[in-house]
Amino acid sequence: MELIKSNTSRVALVAGASRGIGLALVNELLMQGDWHVLAACRQPDQAQSLINLRKEYVDQLTLLSLDATDEQSLANFKQQCLQHCQHIDLVFNTIGLLHGPDLKPEKSLRQMRLANLHSIFAANAFAPILLAQSVSALLAKSSQSWFVSLSARVGSISDNQLGGWYSYRAAKAAQNQLLKTLSIEWARTQPNTCVLVMHPGTTDTDLSKPFQRNVPESKLFSAKFVATSLLALTLSKNSLDSGQFLAWNGELISW
Protein backbone atom coordinates (compact mmCIF):
# COMPACT_ATOMS: atom_id res chain seq x y z
CA MET A 1 0.00 0.00 0.00
CA GLU A 2 1.44 3.35 -1.06
CA LEU A 3 1.73 6.31 1.31
CA ILE A 4 0.33 9.52 -0.19
CA LYS A 5 3.01 12.11 -0.97
CA SER A 6 1.53 14.49 1.57
CA ASN A 7 4.16 17.18 1.01
CA THR A 8 2.75 17.78 -2.49
CA SER A 9 -0.98 17.68 -1.82
CA ARG A 10 -3.54 18.37 0.83
CA VAL A 11 -5.52 15.30 1.85
CA ALA A 12 -9.33 15.27 1.85
CA LEU A 13 -11.56 12.42 2.98
CA VAL A 14 -15.13 12.18 1.71
CA ALA A 15 -17.36 9.67 3.54
CA GLY A 16 -20.50 8.62 1.63
CA ALA A 17 -18.66 9.14 -1.67
CA SER A 18 -20.56 6.62 -3.81
CA ARG A 19 -23.29 9.01 -5.00
CA GLY A 20 -25.16 12.27 -4.39
CA ILE A 21 -23.40 15.21 -2.75
CA GLY A 22 -20.45 13.04 -1.63
CA LEU A 23 -19.64 11.99 -5.21
CA ALA A 24 -19.97 15.62 -6.38
CA LEU A 25 -17.51 16.69 -3.67
CA VAL A 26 -15.00 14.06 -4.81
CA ASN A 27 -15.30 15.44 -8.37
CA GLU A 28 -14.90 19.03 -7.20
CA LEU A 29 -11.83 18.28 -5.06
CA LEU A 30 -10.17 16.33 -7.90
CA MET A 31 -10.84 19.16 -10.37
CA GLN A 32 -9.18 21.66 -8.02
CA GLY A 33 -5.99 19.68 -8.59
CA ASP A 34 -4.12 20.15 -5.32
CA TRP A 35 -5.97 17.57 -3.23
CA HIS A 36 -5.41 13.87 -2.75
CA VAL A 37 -8.88 12.46 -2.16
CA LEU A 38 -9.73 9.47 0.01
CA ALA A 39 -13.21 8.43 -1.12
CA ALA A 40 -14.92 6.14 1.40
CA CYS A 41 -18.07 4.17 0.74
CA ARG A 42 -19.70 0.88 1.69
CA GLN A 43 -18.92 -1.03 -1.52
CA PRO A 44 -15.99 0.58 -3.37
CA ASP A 45 -15.73 -2.38 -5.76
CA GLN A 46 -19.30 -1.64 -6.96
CA ALA A 47 -19.13 2.18 -6.95
CA GLN A 48 -18.89 2.54 -10.74
CA SER A 49 -18.68 6.37 -10.79
CA LEU A 50 -15.72 6.28 -8.38
CA ILE A 51 -14.06 3.44 -10.29
CA ASN A 52 -14.30 5.51 -13.50
CA LEU A 53 -12.89 8.60 -11.74
CA ARG A 54 -10.03 6.51 -10.39
CA LYS A 55 -9.00 5.65 -13.99
CA GLU A 56 -8.77 9.38 -14.77
CA TYR A 57 -7.15 10.50 -11.49
CA VAL A 58 -5.02 7.47 -10.69
CA ASP A 59 -2.47 9.41 -8.57
CA GLN A 60 -5.01 11.61 -6.83
CA LEU A 61 -7.80 9.26 -5.75
CA THR A 62 -7.84 6.39 -3.26
CA LEU A 63 -10.97 4.32 -2.66
CA LEU A 64 -11.59 3.04 0.86
CA SER A 65 -14.23 0.79 2.35
CA LEU A 66 -16.42 2.13 5.18
CA ASP A 67 -19.77 1.25 6.68
CA ALA A 68 -19.94 3.95 9.33
CA THR A 69 -22.68 2.14 11.24
CA ASP A 70 -20.47 -0.91 11.85
CA GLU A 71 -17.75 -0.80 14.53
CA GLN A 72 -15.52 -3.43 12.88
CA SER A 73 -15.71 -1.58 9.56
CA LEU A 74 -14.84 1.69 11.35
CA ALA A 75 -11.80 0.03 12.98
CA ASN A 76 -10.61 -1.39 9.61
CA PHE A 77 -11.19 2.00 7.99
CA LYS A 78 -9.04 3.73 10.62
CA GLN A 79 -6.21 1.32 9.85
CA GLN A 80 -6.58 1.91 6.09
CA CYS A 81 -6.37 5.70 6.64
CA LEU A 82 -3.25 5.33 8.83
CA GLN A 83 -1.62 3.17 6.13
CA HIS A 84 -2.37 5.70 3.38
CA CYS A 85 -1.57 9.07 4.91
CA GLN A 86 0.24 10.88 7.70
CA HIS A 87 -2.38 13.60 8.13
CA ILE A 88 -5.82 14.59 6.86
CA ASP A 89 -6.66 18.25 6.20
CA LEU A 90 -10.35 18.00 5.40
CA VAL A 91 -13.08 15.49 6.24
CA PHE A 92 -16.51 15.78 4.61
CA ASN A 93 -19.12 13.43 6.03
CA THR A 94 -22.00 13.17 3.57
CA ILE A 95 -23.47 9.92 4.89
CA GLY A 96 -27.21 10.14 5.42
CA LEU A 97 -30.43 8.16 5.28
CA LEU A 98 -34.01 9.38 4.90
CA HIS A 99 -35.87 6.57 3.15
CA GLY A 100 -35.36 3.05 1.80
CA PRO A 101 -37.27 0.03 0.56
CA ASP A 102 -39.06 -0.49 3.91
CA LEU A 103 -38.42 2.95 5.31
CA LYS A 104 -40.45 6.13 4.89
CA PRO A 105 -40.23 9.34 6.94
CA GLU A 106 -43.10 9.34 9.45
CA LYS A 107 -46.03 11.67 8.84
CA SER A 108 -47.59 10.90 12.23
CA LEU A 109 -46.92 9.27 15.59
CA ARG A 110 -48.83 6.19 14.39
CA GLN A 111 -46.03 5.43 11.91
CA MET A 112 -43.18 5.33 14.47
CA ARG A 113 -41.21 2.03 14.43
CA LEU A 114 -38.28 1.15 16.67
CA ALA A 115 -36.33 -0.49 13.81
CA ASN A 116 -36.67 2.67 11.70
CA LEU A 117 -35.52 4.87 14.58
CA HIS A 118 -32.45 2.64 14.96
CA SER A 119 -31.42 2.78 11.30
CA ILE A 120 -32.09 6.52 10.89
CA PHE A 121 -30.15 7.36 14.05
CA ALA A 122 -27.30 5.02 13.11
CA ALA A 123 -26.67 6.76 9.76
CA ASN A 124 -27.52 10.37 10.61
CA ALA A 125 -26.40 10.74 14.24
CA PHE A 126 -24.05 7.93 15.29
CA ALA A 127 -22.03 7.68 12.04
CA PRO A 128 -20.67 11.27 12.10
CA ILE A 129 -19.36 11.14 15.67
CA LEU A 130 -17.85 7.65 15.22
CA LEU A 131 -16.20 8.82 12.00
CA ALA A 132 -14.76 11.82 13.89
CA GLN A 133 -13.33 9.41 16.47
CA SER A 134 -11.68 7.34 13.72
CA VAL A 135 -9.91 10.27 12.06
CA SER A 136 -9.20 12.61 14.99
CA ALA A 137 -5.49 11.75 15.29
CA LEU A 138 -4.92 12.37 11.55
CA LEU A 139 -6.82 15.69 11.61
CA ALA A 140 -4.73 16.77 14.62
CA LYS A 141 -1.56 16.43 12.55
CA SER A 142 -2.60 19.10 10.03
CA SER A 143 -1.85 22.76 10.83
CA GLN A 144 -5.44 23.76 9.80
CA SER A 145 -8.01 21.03 9.39
CA TRP A 146 -11.78 20.83 9.00
CA PHE A 147 -14.33 18.20 10.02
CA VAL A 148 -17.53 19.02 8.16
CA SER A 149 -20.70 16.96 8.40
CA LEU A 150 -23.94 17.30 6.50
CA SER A 151 -26.93 17.82 8.73
CA ALA A 152 -30.24 19.36 7.60
CA ARG A 153 -32.27 22.45 8.44
CA VAL A 154 -35.08 20.14 9.61
CA GLY A 155 -32.73 19.18 12.47
CA SER A 156 -33.13 22.68 13.91
CA ILE A 157 -35.47 22.43 16.92
CA SER A 158 -36.27 26.15 16.98
CA ASP A 159 -37.08 26.14 13.23
CA ASN A 160 -39.53 23.22 13.47
CA GLN A 161 -42.80 24.69 12.17
CA LEU A 162 -44.21 21.74 10.22
CA GLY A 163 -43.66 18.62 12.34
CA GLY A 164 -43.45 15.18 10.72
CA TRP A 165 -40.28 13.25 9.77
CA TYR A 166 -39.80 12.40 13.47
CA SER A 167 -36.76 10.16 13.31
CA TYR A 168 -34.82 12.05 10.59
CA ARG A 169 -35.38 15.42 12.32
CA ALA A 170 -34.42 14.01 15.71
CA ALA A 171 -31.36 12.18 14.35
CA LYS A 172 -30.07 15.37 12.68
CA ALA A 173 -30.71 17.32 15.93
CA ALA A 174 -28.75 14.61 17.78
CA GLN A 175 -25.91 14.89 15.24
CA ASN A 176 -25.85 18.66 15.79
CA GLN A 177 -25.55 18.22 19.56
CA LEU A 178 -22.85 15.54 19.23
CA LEU A 179 -20.75 17.69 16.89
CA LYS A 180 -21.25 20.89 18.92
CA THR A 181 -19.95 18.94 21.90
CA LEU A 182 -17.03 17.69 19.79
CA SER A 183 -16.17 21.26 18.76
CA ILE A 184 -15.89 22.21 22.45
CA GLU A 185 -13.59 19.25 23.22
CA TRP A 186 -11.40 19.86 20.15
CA ALA A 187 -11.10 23.60 20.90
CA ARG A 188 -9.22 22.38 23.98
CA THR A 189 -7.40 19.30 22.71
CA GLN A 190 -6.81 19.94 18.96
CA PRO A 191 -7.60 23.61 18.33
CA ASN A 192 -6.35 23.39 14.73
CA THR A 193 -9.49 21.43 13.72
CA CYS A 194 -12.63 23.37 12.82
CA VAL A 195 -15.90 21.43 13.24
CA LEU A 196 -18.86 22.55 11.11
CA VAL A 197 -22.35 21.14 10.53
CA MET A 198 -23.98 22.19 7.28
CA HIS A 199 -27.36 22.21 5.55
CA PRO A 200 -26.78 21.73 1.82
CA GLY A 201 -30.17 23.05 0.68
CA THR A 202 -32.59 20.82 -1.20
CA THR A 203 -30.35 18.97 -3.63
CA ASP A 204 -31.30 16.79 -6.57
CA THR A 205 -30.13 13.36 -5.33
CA ASP A 206 -31.65 9.95 -4.55
CA LEU A 207 -32.33 11.15 -1.00
CA SER A 208 -34.63 14.01 -2.03
CA LYS A 209 -36.15 12.39 -5.19
CA PRO A 210 -39.47 11.28 -3.63
CA PHE A 211 -40.01 14.72 -2.04
CA GLN A 212 -39.18 17.09 -4.91
CA ARG A 213 -42.71 17.60 -6.27
CA ASN A 214 -43.45 20.82 -4.36
CA VAL A 215 -39.94 22.26 -4.53
CA PRO A 216 -39.68 25.22 -6.95
CA GLU A 217 -37.04 24.67 -9.64
CA SER A 218 -34.98 27.62 -8.37
CA LYS A 219 -34.76 25.96 -4.92
CA LEU A 220 -33.66 22.52 -6.14
CA PHE A 221 -29.89 22.60 -6.44
CA SER A 222 -27.62 20.35 -8.48
CA ALA A 223 -25.14 18.27 -6.47
CA LYS A 224 -22.32 20.03 -8.37
CA PHE A 225 -23.52 23.51 -7.31
CA VAL A 226 -23.86 22.35 -3.70
CA ALA A 227 -20.42 20.71 -3.66
CA THR A 228 -18.76 23.88 -4.99
CA SER A 229 -20.63 26.08 -2.49
CA LEU A 230 -19.95 23.86 0.54
CA LEU A 231 -16.26 23.52 -0.28
CA ALA A 232 -15.75 27.28 -0.75
CA LEU A 233 -17.67 27.97 2.48
CA THR A 234 -15.58 25.44 4.41
CA LEU A 235 -12.26 26.82 3.23
CA SER A 236 -13.36 30.35 4.21
CA LYS A 237 -13.71 29.20 7.84
CA ASN A 238 -11.07 28.58 10.49
CA SER A 239 -10.93 27.23 14.01
CA LEU A 240 -12.45 30.43 15.45
CA ASP A 241 -15.67 29.45 13.61
CA SER A 242 -15.72 25.92 15.01
CA GLY A 243 -19.12 24.71 16.29
CA GLN A 244 -21.28 26.56 13.73
CA PHE A 245 -24.46 25.21 12.06
CA LEU A 246 -24.45 26.76 8.58
CA ALA A 247 -26.57 26.72 5.44
CA TRP A 248 -24.88 26.24 2.03
CA ASN A 249 -24.83 30.05 1.53
CA GLY A 250 -23.08 30.78 4.83
CA GLU A 251 -26.24 31.77 6.75
CA LEU A 252 -26.06 30.71 10.43
CA ILE A 253 -28.95 28.36 11.35
CA SER A 254 -30.36 28.46 14.86
CA TRP A 255 -30.16 25.20 16.81
Which residues of this protein are in contact with ligand NAP, per CB under 6 A? 16, 18-22, 41-43, 66-69, 94-97, 123, 127, 150, 152, 199-200, 202-203, 205-208
Residue type, 208: S
Q: State in angstroms the smallest separation of the CB of 5 from ligand NAP.
A: 27
| Nearer CB in complex with ligand NAP: 45/206 | 206
Q: Which residues contact 1 (CB under 8 A, 6 or more apart)?
A: 83, 84
Minimum distance of ligand NAP from residue 104's CB (angstroms): 14
The order of strands in the sheet holding 10-15 is 61-65, 35-41, 10-15, 90-93, 145-150, 193-199, 244-247
Q: Which is nearer to ligand NAP, 88 or 207 (CB)?
A: 207
CA–CA separation, 225 and 7 (whole Å): 30
CB of 212 to ligand NAP, least distance (A): 8
User: Shortest gap between Cβ of 188 and ligand NAP (angstroms)?
Assistant: 27
Closer to ligand NAP by CB, 127 or 139: give it: 127
d(CA 11, CA 5): 10
- Contact predicate 214/14, CB 8 Å: no
Closest to ligand NAP by CB, 23 vs 239, is 23
